[in-house]
A and B are shown apart, each in its own frame.
Chain A
Amino acid sequence: MITLRNLTKRFGPLTAVHDLSLEVRKGEILGFLGPNGAGKTTTIKMICGLIKPTSGIVDFHFENLETKHHRSHLGYCPQDNIFWSKLTCKEQLNLVGRLYGMDSRMIRHRSASLLTQLGLKEKETVLAKKLSGGMKRRLNICLALIHDPEILIFDEPEAGLDPQSRVQVREFIKSLSEDKTVIITTHNMDEADRLSERVAIIDAGRLIKMDTPKNLKHSIGAGDILEIGLSGKAETWESLRSNLMQTFETVTIQEQKMFIKSSRLISRIPEISKIFNDFGVPLQEITLRENTLEDVFIHLTGKALRP
């Protein structure tokens, strides 16, 4: 559906996206996962044709980025809520629909459908500036979809949403994947994990790895992760880690936290507690969980996704 070939974008001395190549399949939800400043939004803007790549190509059905026509097949929902604050929800949709060349009947039909699906039907005659934060976000999504595009691009779609709106938006995006190709960018691994069929991990403008969330998590080994907050003398932490390494598959220390990775860890907590005791490190803040995409990110980049 979309192919990025050796995409690079430089802003003066800064290389925001470096030689990025990937393929987005028709009908899938692809998540771009990476920390702030990783180059996700820059990549999205290049796909949308809002900024020009320094080098490389974006292909849509073998159509080059230089052609303007691909834009009408794209629906872009930017990170910031972008709308005309002095127009009502209905007026905004009508305006954008007209600009995409839709007729009145189609606009009415699409507007009603989108506003209902995203819980804004009752607010259709309310000025956008008077909507709540969550409603504004949902209106932003409606505006990206009014012209029924084949490819949908959501930049941090759940950012700033309350839990209720987050679920609503998530379910809506999932429902779109039945007949659309969806790209989402996020630094929220939970969002990427729940929504994406495949995840592209991006850091410092480079594609680190791309696969399904399940495969990515398995790539760093199956099992549980025990996360233990460290205190006491820092110089003993490394000796403690070396000792634990003799028994467990992976032991890492990251920002005053020790991560022990192994299978059936719950039954081995007394054993771990004893070792900590022997080294005089108090055992506190213990969290036992499954592998997450954040663990994958840490494993691949050596740093946390959200410090």
Chain B
Amino acid sequence: MKILSIIRKSIKEHLRSVWILLLTVLMAPFFVMLYYMINEATQTHYDIIVVNQDRGVHFEGGAFNHGAFLIDLFKGTDMDSLDLPIQLEEMEDRTLAEHRLKNKKSDALIIIPEDFSERIVALASGPSVKGVGVEFVGDLTNIYYMVCAIWSYEIIAEYVSELSGAARPVILKETPLGISAQVTDFDMWIPGILMLSIIMLMFTASIAIVTEIENGTIIRLKLSGISSLQLLSGIGLVQVLIGIIAIFLTLQVAMWFGFDYVGVLGPFILIAILTTVSIIGFSLILASVTKSANEILVVGNFPLFLFMFFSGAAFPMHAKELFTISGYGISWQSLLSPSHAVQALNKLWIMNLEFNDVVPEILALIVMSLVYFGIGIWLFQKRHLKVQ
């Protein structure tokens, strides 16, 4: 009953501080929108300029320009399952095209020579022609040029081979890992941002606890004989509820922007609850070493920064492995509970693995939650609840 009273009190207080609650819950969905916009603005694409100098040929009563056909092929390229984000621009003047290339307006320039069609026809007629020449122009230090050159070569080789019947010595085959061919950069960010929505609880949870100290109401609670476990469980359960609302809202917003997950939600909910519990445990540590909400807003920035940027929530991060426990790699990053959660969600949603594959991460989350909670309750008891 005492826990229920604390839960009711805590819910009322949160609902009456609606702005703080809204900012906490909406922070991660805002990050989803931000990452979506960044992703849209910086989406990888390869800009190729083609100068078609091909004269074409008259063959079996018809006029053919294989240079023009090749350009059409480029525009509709679909290399097996891989959609190459190629943006093609046709130009007539080679000098102008090179000028654009030098000004980084494009990644590669392909010059289709005057005799391109003639040489294809000749190649089809007999082995007297050694091959078909195409000129690639570009900055060899630009990685984008490399990708353009490799894939353009593949497309041209395939086209020439089909028309001429000439055998290709090497046929390139690309196998995407997991469902990585179907996911975008935006999709890759989502597991981290979902955890961010829980990390943001650090402030509301620690403020909810420290307010009892700041307002002196802890004295009333002490006098009533409520145990630290009852008090902290009551406050903590409300934070778990806020955490679950925040993470599902973030997931929903991500889905509005095109994110889709594979598999069932069960493991995700388990991971979300465990991460929330661990963050509340950490908030308890934070509340134990501070005395006011203002102090939390200042001191709390440091752990927030650590959790956001070093756990892989804001961007991928892989610290050097120090040792392994039953094959599960442990680094200093493992001390940050959300790092296990991000790793587990990546396995489930990006690598399309099964629940069994994320058991080590879930165990690590449980251990970290217990460690944070243990330290938090011990410190809080010692600093704020113990009779001095």
Contact = CB atoms under 8 A, between A and B. Distances in A.
Given A82-B216, A82-B219, A84-B9, A96 B16 contact: no
Contact of A98 (B5, B12, B217, B222): B5
B363 interface: no
A83 interface: yes
Residue in B8, B16, B221, B223 with the greatest tally of chain A CB atoms within 10 Å: B223
Chain B residues touching A, majority SS: helix
A86 B13 contact: yes
B265 interface: no
A50 B2 CA distance: 20
Given A98-B2, A99-B2, A143 B220 contact: yes
B387 A83 contact: no
Given A78-B219, A99-B2, A86 B224 contact: no
Nearest to B386: A52
A50 B215 CA distance: 16
A248 interface: no
Interface of B: 1-2, 4-5, 8-9, 12-13, 16-17, 215-217, 219-226, 387-388
Interface stretch (A67-75, A158-166, A170-178): A67-75
Given A49-B387, A50-B387, A99 B16 contact: no
A80 B216 CA distance: 8
Contacts of B225: 68, 71-72, 99-100
Contact of B223 (A50, A91, A95): A50
A127 B226 CA distance: 24
A48 B13 contact: no
Nearest to A11: B388
A208 B93 CA distance: 107
Nearest to B212: A84
Interface of A: 48-52, 68, 71-72, 74, 76, 78, 80, 82-87, 91, 94-96, 98-101, 127, 143
Contacts of A84: 9, 13, 215, 217
Given A87-B9, A87-B13, A99 B221 contact: yes
A82 B223 contact: no
Contacts of B8: 95
Contacts of A80: 216
Given A96-B224, A98-B2, A99-B5, A91 B219 contact: no
B1 A98 contact: yes
A95 B219 contact: no
Residue in A86, A91, A127 with the greatest tally of chain B CB atoms within 10 Å: A86
A82 B2 contact: no
Given A82-B216, A86-B16, A87-B13, 9 more contacts: A49-B223, A52-B387, A71-B225, A82-B220, A84-B217, A86-B13, A94-B5, A98-B5, A99-B221
27 contacts: A48-B223, A50-B219, A50-B222, A51-B387, A68-B225, A74-B223, A80-B216, A82-B216, A82-B217, A83-B220, A84-B13, A84-B215, A84-B217, A86-B12, A86-B13, A87-B9, A87-B12, A87-B13, A94-B5, A96-B220, A98-B5, A99-B5, A99-B224, A99-B225, A100-B225, A101-B2, A143-B220
Contacts of B9: 84, 87, 91, 95
